[in-house]
Amino acid sequence: MNALLIYPEFPETYWSFKHALKFVGKRAAQPPLGLMTVAALLPSTWKKQLVDTNVERLRDRDLAWADVAMVSGMHIQRKALLAIVERCRARGLRTVVGGPITSSVPAAELKADHVVIGEAESLISGLARDLEEGTAKPVYQADERPAMATSPLPDLSLIKMHRYSTMAVQYSRGCPFNCEFCDIIEIYGRRPRTKAVAQVLAELDQLRAAGWREAVFIVDDNFIGNKARAKELCVALAEWRSQYKTSFDFNTEASLNLADDPELMQLMKDAGFISVFLGIETPDESGLIASNKLQNTRRSLLESVAKIQSYGMQVMGGFILGFDTDREDIFDRMVEFIQTSGIPIAMVGLLQAMPGTQLFRRLRGEGRILDAGDGDNTDVKLNFIPHMDAPRLVEGYRSVLKRIYSCEAYYERVKLYLSRTHPRHEMRTTRQRWLTWSNVRAFVTSIVRQGVFGRQRWSYWRFLAQAATRYRRCFGTAMTLAVMGYHFQVMTQKLSKAMDSARQPAESGAISLREIGRQTR
Ligand code: B12
Ligand code: SF4
């Protein structure tokens, strides 16, 4: 059998990093690790090709070569995924759809011949056999979540590695917490399952052997879901790095209680972690309690963030507006919190009720669900009726984005973060990473786009001058963040413009909001 694995294109969002990737000559942030894992699970006698439409075109001759198309995706890729399925089916090509989208969109709506719901480790051999015999079922779903020991070494040979800015390695799945809006725990469960340390090191060896020397994202739902196992891996990573004298830097996602464990933060620092994404959600404690984000309560959020930053790790933060508890002052409080936190990359989204979550079930019970949403919480498409007047919420959301991504505000946060990180750590990473071809290219492009043609070029030059003098030890990090800021500034301008042109009077806030959503799509 010839299997064609296809990854649909992402829409342009805050999360696509599209406008920053251009600076370094990359086409996407990360490769489709799910498909690379599925490829490795398929019989070795099968021939495989992978087309990630975020970095290359899907050609008719790829489709002509294939006996089966295996398509993956998130909810947000739905439109592009459906178009691919339709294109395959029009040519009579058998289609299989899998990935996180199958947990939020009913199988029948995916229009594929076969749908694999959830994690696939225990299902692929049966599916492959059935496909060969022509007896494949419409839907496959495992009774139990697989042990991570059964997850194979992803097939790295199928991707065009240098078109991505980061490589992905997964250590664990699942998270022990129970946030109401979260679909991670519905898809991957609340009991963190980890690979063996040796599996992770084998993946890193594979990347190194293929010539990869840049950043690696440990794509766990919550890297510290099982702290003991996280510590075990960190020790091994530190040894691995010193053995190969490699410059691999690691990024990951974790929960805020990381700040309670100095040993773990030190081990992460020693292992080469330079950034961590944290779900902070809201500075309003009543919102945290109502959404069951209890691990963020009874503490100073700002102190917790500063503690993690003091270990040389940049904190990226996820924030949500639209909780039932949000009052008129939430927008100002959010901006003030973000500005004093020193979190340059603050992903602020409107609350989305993802199908399958506890939040979705509650709101449906209260008659407040408008539709299933589209999986993107960084634009203005609310899929439920909020407590706050909906147009007010959307306007407040826009005002937060405009304020935090104005050049001045953004550079202030970068400077605060730089002043907090450990200078020695920064010097090490700066020396190792700064003089690469892609960084030099990014620097020159940044000067031209932001310094010569940028609308706020004076802020940019002021920042550059300070970075070169006051923060010269971490000049590389400063430049990387300047380039990333460009993406957020462009996205904020685009969203704001789209909202202006879509704004129109309407009888009901919810309807007007959906209209804005349709027009900005
Ligand atoms: C890394 C990551 C990213 C990367 C991109 C990765 C990439 N290239 O795809 C970044 C950081 C850019 C990102 C962004 C976003 N992400 Co994201 N991301 C992840 C994360 C943490 C890991 C993905 C991964 O590599 N997993 C490892 C692989 C091995 O797992 P897997 O993909 O699930 O694959 C398994 C099965 O699903 C199945 N499978 C997968 N594909 C296929 C295909 C076939 C044919 C078959 C049979 C089986 C199969 O087999 C695999 C082995 O079991 C996941 C969480 C998670 N645990 O997966 C969230 C996750 C996928 N992201 C999510 C979301 C919502 C987003 C954003 C929309 C964020 C936002 N709030 O706006 C953006 C969208 C991007 C954009 N441009 O706008 C959601 C998706 C929810 C959903 N129901 O669709 C997840 C599940 C997290 C969550 N909150 O629940 N993300
Ligand atoms: S901490 Fe994050 S991953 Fe864990 S349940 Fe809450 S939102 Fe989900």
For 310-323, write each residue's pLDDT tens digit.
999 999 999 999 99
* Nearest CA among 69, 35, 38, 68 for reference residue 54: 35
184 CA to centre of ligand 2 in angstroms: 7
Find out whether the beta carbon of 223 lies less than 6 Å from any atom of ligand 2.
no
CA distances from 366 to 315, 353, 500 (A): 36, 13, 31
Per-residue pLDDT at 443: 86
Q: Read off the pLDDT band of 499 (50, 70, 90).
A: confident
Residue ranges of E strands in 195-298: 216-218, 250-254, 273-281
430 CA to centre of ligand 2 in angstroms: 32
Is the CB of residue 10 less than 8 Å from the CB of residue 77? yes
Strands 216-218 and 250-254: parallel
Residue with the smallest CA separation from ligand 1 atom 1 is 219
Q: Read off the pLDDT band of 444 (50, 70, 90).
A: confident
Per-residue pLDDT at 272: 95
Average pLDDT over all residues of the chain: 92
CA 162, CA 160: separation in Å to the nearest integer?
A: 6
Best mutation site among 4, 21, 30, 74 for ligand 1 pocket (most ligand atoms within 8 Å of CB): 74
Best mutation site among 185, 280, 295 for ligand 2 pocket (most ligand atoms within 8 Å of CB): 185
Best mutation site among 191, 255, 295 for ligand 2 pocket (most ligand atoms within 8 Å of CB): 255
Looking up tokens 């927008």 gives 331
pTM here is 0.94
Structure tokens, 459: 């802020």
Q: Which residues contact 142 (CB under 8 A, 6 or more apart)?
A: 118, 119, 120, 122, 123
Query: Nearest bound ligand to CA 258?
Result: 2
Per-residue pLDDT at 503: 65
H or E segment to which residue 464 belongs: helix 457-469
Query: Nearest bound ligand to CA 354?
Result: 1
CA 70, CA 5: separation in Å to the nearest integer?
A: 5
- CB count within 10 Å of CB 228 equals 9
179 CA to centre of ligand 2 in angstroms: 6
Q: Which of 16-25, 128-137, 241-250, 478-487 has the lowest mean pLDDT?
A: 241-250
CA distances from 267 to 103, 231, 354 (A): 35, 7, 35
Check pLDDT > 60 for residue 48. Answer: yes
Check pLDDT > 90 for residue 421. Answer: no
Q: Read off the pLDDT band of 436 (50, 70, 90).
A: confident
Instruction: Tell me if residue 69 falls in helix, strand or coil.
Output: strand
Query: Nearest bound ligand to CA 55?
Result: 1
29 CA to centre of ligand 2 in angstroms: 22
* Nearest CA among 392, 410, 386, 373 for reference residue 492: 410
Instruction: Tell me if residue 382 falls in helix, strand or coil.
Output: coil
CA 378, CA 318: separation in Å to the nearest integer?
A: 11
Per-residue pLDDT at 85: 98
Per-residue pLDDT at 208: 95
Q: State the DSSP string of 252-266.
A: EEE-GGGGG-HHHHH
Find out whether the beta carbon of 375 lies less than 6 Å from any atom of ligand 1.
yes
Amino acid at the residue 127: L
As a whole number, mean pLDDT of residues 410-433 equals 72
CA dihedral 335, 338, 342, 343 (to 10 degrees): -130
Instruction: Tell me if residue 301 falls in helix, strand or coil.
Output: helix
CA 234, CA 227: separation in Å to the nearest integer?
A: 10
Check pLDDT > 70 for residue 427. Answer: no
57 CA to centre of ligand 2 in angstroms: 35
CA 36, CA 156: separation in Å to the nearest integer?
A: 7
Check pLDDT > 70 for residue 29. Answer: yes
Per-residue pLDDT at 454: 85
Per-residue pLDDT at 512: 45
Check pLDDT > 90 for residue 153. Answer: yes
- How does pLDDT run across 217-234, given as a tens digit for each residue? 999 999 999 999 999 999
User: Which of the 8 DSSP states describes residue 374?
Assistant: -
Check pLDDT > 80 for residue 435. Answer: no
- How does pLDDT run across 475-488, given as a tens digit for each residue? 888 999 999 999 99
- How does pLDDT run across 197-224, given as a tens digit for each residue? 999 999 999 999 999 988 999 999 999 9
CA 296, CA 288: separation in Å to the nearest integer?
A: 7
Amino acid at the residue 122: S
H or E segment to which residue 4 belongs: strand 2-7
Check pLDDT > 80 for residue 515. Answer: no
Locate the ligand 2 atom nearest the alpha carbon of residue 175 and give its number. 4
Is the CB of residue 173 less than 8 Å from the CB of residue 167? no
Between CA 88 and CA 99, with CA 94 as vertex, the angle to 5 degrees is 85
Q: Which class for 507: exposed (0-12), middle (13-18), buried (19 or more C-beta within 10 A)?
A: exposed
Q: Read off the pLDDT band of 382 (50, 70, 90).
A: very high
Per-residue pLDDT at 500: 79
Q: Which class for 416: exposed (0-12), middle (13-18), buried (19 or more C-beta within 10 A)?
A: middle
Q: State the DSSP string of 442-509.
A: HHHHHIIIIIIS-TTHHHHHHHHHHHHHTTGGGHHHHHHHHHHHHHHHHHHHHHHHHHHHH----SSH
Would the CA dihedral through 401, 402, 403, 406 be positive or negative?
Answer: positive
Find out whether the beta carbon of 279 lies less than 6 Å from any atom of ligand 2.
yes
Structure tokens, 25: 């000559």
Locate the ligand 1 atom nearest the alpha carbon of residue 356 and give its number. 83
Q: Which residue has the higher pLDDT, 444 or 145?
A: 145
As a whole number, mean pLDDT of residues 27-50 equals 98
Looking up tokens 């004076």 gives 458
CA 338, CA 315: separation in Å to the nearest integer?
A: 11
Per-residue pLDDT at 441: 84
Check pLDDT > 90 for residue 471. Answer: no
Q: Which class for 108: exposed (0-12), middle (13-18), buried (19 or more C-beta within 10 A)?
A: exposed
**Three-class secondary structure assignment of 185-225:** HHHHCCCCEECCHHHHHHHHHHHHHCCCCCCEEECCCCCCC
2 CA to centre of ligand 1 in angstroms: 25
Find out whether the beta carbon of 26 lies less than 6 Å from any atom of ligand 1.
no
Per-residue pLDDT at 212: 94
Q: Read off the pLDDT band of 521 (50, 70, 90).
A: very low
Check pLDDT > 60 for residue 258. Answer: yes
As a whole number, mean pLDDT of residues 347-353 equals 96
User: Which of the 8 DSSP states describes residue 24?
Assistant: G
> In the chain, pLDDT over 70 holds for what percent of residues?
93
Listed in sequence order, the DSSP H helices in 11-77 are 18-21, 33-41, 60-65
Structural Rg of the chain based on CA atoms: 23
* Nearest CA among 39, 92, 429 for reference residue 273: 429
- How does pLDDT run across 60-88, given as a tens digit for each residue? 999 999 999 999 999 999 999 999 999 99
Instruction: Tell me if residue 398 falls in helix, strand or coil.
Output: helix
- How does pLDDT run across 356-381, given as a tens digit for each residue? 999 999 999 999 999 999 888 877 88
Find out whether the beta carbon of 54 lies less than 6 Å from any atom of ligand 1.
no
User: Which residues on neighbouring strands pair with residue 96, listed in sequence order?
Assistant: 70, 114
Residue ranges of E strands in 34-138: 47-52, 68-72, 94-98, 114-117
